[in-house]
């Protein structure tokens, strides 16, 4: 295995089975890349220093859900920098709004020490702080076909939206 910091090698080490490797690496912004070999094939992974968050991005793995009043989908929320990279230290509050025959039934961020509400009474604005640059919203379908549109806003960032069909 070889470790690179901004393209400069920090040395090679051999890993024994079921073990681990470590390097002492002074902090420097940029790209840290590990390159190795497994079963005769080159494998590599990297992490990069990110910039400040500039936008909220919403995504889901479902393009549509059933309009049966019970089906639901999880919407992933991330903060991204100008290069489109997820910003892992963005922990700012995000507000949500929904258009269409659906309702938000929960929000979460995986932070075990968070005291924020997971659910809000009707008429209140749904919100959740990002934790390590991420949070999630659960949206439940109504009974009308069409689509719903979820929007997310955070102070100083470009808002994000996602549309999910209701079939």
Q: What is the pLDDT of residues 82-137, one digit of tens each?
A: 999 999 999 999 999 999 999 999 999 999 999 999 999 988 999 999 999 999 99
List the beta bridge partners of residue 149.
99, 163
Q: What is the pLDDT of residues 53-94, one digit of tens each?
A: 999 999 999 999 999 999 999 999 999 999 999 999 999 999
Structure tokens of 85? 């990279």
Class of domain 55-166: mainly beta
CA 50-133-71 angle, 5° bins:
140
Burial 50-77 (b: 16+ CB within 10 A, else e): beebbbbbbebeeeebebeeebbbebeb
- Confidence (pLDDT) at 77: 98
Distances (CA, A) of 121 to 30, 124, 126, 127, 136: 44, 6, 9, 12, 18
**What is the spatial distance between Cα 43 and Cα 61, in angstroms, rounded to a whole number?**
27
**Where do runs of H (alpha helix) occur along the chain?**
none
- Confidence (pLDDT) at 17: 87
Residue 152 has pLDDT above 90, yes or no: yes
List the beta bridge partners of residue 95.
127, 153
Q: Beta strand 146-153 with 160-166: parallel, antiparallel or unpaired? A: antiparallel
Query: Residue ranges per domain, the chain?
Result: 2-48, 55-166
């Amino acid at each position: 295995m070889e470790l690179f910091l901004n393209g400069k090698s920090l040395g090679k080490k051999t890993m024994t089975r079921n073990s681990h490797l470590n390097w002492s690496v002074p902090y420097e912004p940029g790209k840290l890349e590990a390159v190795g070999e497994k079963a005769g094939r080159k494998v590599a992974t990297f992490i990069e220093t990110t910039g400040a968050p500039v936008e909220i991005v919403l995504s889901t793995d479902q393009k549509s859900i059933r309009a049966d009043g019970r089906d639901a989908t999880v919407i992933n929320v991330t903060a991204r920098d100008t290069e489109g990279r997820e910003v892992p230290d963005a922990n700012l509050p995000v507000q949500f709004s929904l258009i269409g025959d659906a309702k938000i039934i929960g929000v979460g961020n995986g932070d075990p020490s968070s005291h924020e509400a997971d659910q809000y009474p009707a008429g209140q604005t749904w919100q959740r702080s990002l934790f390590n640059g991420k949070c999630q919203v659960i949206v439940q379908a109504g009974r009308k076909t069409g689509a719903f549109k979820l929007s997310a806003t955070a102070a100083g960032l470009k808002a994000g939206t996602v549309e999910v069909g209701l079939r």
